[in-house]
Amino acid sequence: MTRTQRMTHAAPLTLAAVLGLSTALSPAHAQMTEIGPGEGALSIVAWAGYVERGETDPAFDWVTKFEAASGCKVSIKTANTSDEMVALMNEGGFDLVTASGDASLRLIAGKRVQEINTALVPSWSTVDDRLKDAPWHTLDGKHYGVPYMWGPNVLMYNTNVFKEPPTSWNVVFEKMDLPDGKSNEGRVQAYDGPIHIADAAQYLMTHKPELGITDPYELNEEQYAAALDLLRGQRKLVSRYWHDAFIQIDDFKNEGVVASGSWPFQVNLLKGEGQPVASVIPQEGATGWADTTMLHVDSEHPNCAYMWFEHQLSSNLQSDLSVWFGAVPSVPAACTDGRGMQTAEGCTANGLDDFDRIRFWRTPVANCAQGEGACVPYYRWVSDYIGVIGGR
């Protein structure tokens, strides 16, 4: 099953019903038909490392020139989880959000984002064809965002402990002695977000095939209970449930953490500092994220936002961000056209050829391929994962 086929089960109408939201998914006001003068400001809710102005590393700055050219002063609010992004967009006061698939459909269902007029984004034609009509931002042929970056959730590990790359996620899910002869208890981490239940489910697809899991985002009661049981066992091993990329970086440097699910962003920063880390997609595969920049339905700066849409698709930004974050560009030419730092080899290393190996984040809903009401919906993932972290 391809990624697009997997995603089609997450029907926004079903999602709206699950979340108790209106099913009227039309935008609150008319779609923009032309871009006017910039309003002078633009506020973006983004993942850490996604909107850089050279403050972390002067070599990576795709904000300063945009501000000079557009007159739109960019402010950035970093969010650490998809749930935080949804909450911020529900509160309002922001223009754009770089939403992953486990947030984007919730934002559409909640009428927090507006339809995008792709005719006003000249570089839309350069977007990867696999992403243009992706069902996590497209409904009834209407687009509710512009693709930004995508990539896998990798297993990051300490190369002093693992002389050879670990071949399985079992190093973070099962109690064991690691290759250095010491236990993994207190030396591994897990992601602080309900979507991590999908990582457990994916692990069980390989190690408990009798459960019959075919999609880690579509779990019946038995499958869901097994995933929670695995996570309760994992709780005894983890030193921290991470959500802040920079805190995880510090934990790998200073707190003795040697293995965790992570993003290529952390891997690249640690490698850049000469730290003994590397990453791998183990035999069970990986979950991942395909992020879309979406425009708030009540944006106060829509002209600046559309200017940013075009800016974010420039191949030099896509190329440099791909290097910085360890992600794959939504504009394939950014891998090879030489306008930025990225190379074809770098895109391959970041997962360009793994598109169909990755099970991309999406919001679980009750009505799924197993039947109407057959799967455990997201609101239960939220409450039950809080319980797992709390020792219940």
- Contact between 128 and 136 (Cβ < 8 Å): no
Specify the domain boundaries for CATH 3.40.190.10 within the chain.
Answer: 3-151+288-360, 153-287+377-389
pLDDT-derived band at 29, boundaries 50, 70, 90: low
Cβ atoms of 202 and 359 closer than 8 Å? yes
Average pLDDT over residues 349-374: 90
pLDDT band of 13, cuts 50, 70, 90: very low
Instruction: Look up the CATH superfamily of 3-151+288-360.
Output: Periplasmic binding protein-like II (3.40.190.10)
User: In the chain, which ranges are continuous DSSP H helix?
Assistant: 3-7, 12-19, 64-70, 82-91, 101-109, 129-132, 170-173, 196-207, 221-235, 245-254, 264-272, 302-312, 315-325, 344-349, 378-389
* CB burial of residue 385 (10 Å; 0-12, 13-18, 19+): buried
80 SS3 class: coil
> How is residue 276 written in tokens?
């003994």
- Asked if residue 224 has pLDDT above 60, the reply is yes
**pLDDT for the residue numbered 19:** 42
pLDDT over 90 percentage in the chain: 83
pLDDT at residue 182 greater than cutoff 80: yes
Task: Identify the residue with better confidence: 83 or 30.
Answer: 83
pLDDT tens, position by position, 37-93 = 999 999 999 998 999 999 989 999 999 999 999 999 999 999 988 999 999 999 999
> Which one is predicted more confidently, 345 or 16?
345
Q: What angle do CA 367, 228, 81 make, to 5 degrees?
A: 75
3 has a pLDDT exceeding 60: no
pLDDT over threshold 70, residue 11: no
Within its chain, how far is the Cα of 226 from the centroid?
24
Per-residue 3-state assignment (H helix, E strand, C coil) for 183-195: ECCCCEEEECCCC
Burial class (CB in 10 A: 0-12, 13-18, 19+), 8: exposed
Tokens 């995508």, residue located: 150
For residues 166-170, average pLDDT: 98
- The answer to whether domain 153-287+377-389 has CATH 3.40.190.10 is yes
Give the pair of three-digit tokens for residue 111. 């009428």
The pLDDT tens digits for 299-328 are 999 999 999 999 999 999 999 999 998 899
- Report whether pLDDT(220) > 70: yes
Across 312-350, b (16+ Cβ under 10 Å) vs e yields bbbbbbbbbbbbbbbbbbbbbebbeeeebbbeeebbeeb
Token representation of residue 81: 């989880």
Please tell me the predicted confidence (pLDDT) of residue 24.
Answer: 36
Question: If you average pLDDT over every residue of the chain, what do you get?
Answer: 91
pLDDT(2) > 70: no
pLDDT at 113: 97
| Cα gap 158→347, rounded to integer Å | 23
Separation between Cα atoms, residue 267 and residue 182, nearest integer Å: 23
Question: With bands split at pLDDT 50, 70 and 90, how would you rate the model's confidence at 17?
Answer: very low
Instruction: Please determine, for residue 143, whether its predicted confidence score (pLDDT) is greater than 50.
Output: yes
pTM of the model as a whole: 0.82
**Range 13-20 contact pairs with CB under 8 angstroms and sequence separation of 24 or more:** 13/109, 14/365, 14/366, 14/367, 15/105, 15/106, 15/109, 15/363, 15/365, 16/109, 16/110, 17/366, 17/367, 18/365, 18/366, 18/377, 18/378, 18/379, 19/106, 19/109, 19/110, 19/378, 19/379
Q: Is 20 helix (H, G, I), strand (E, B) or coil?
A: coil
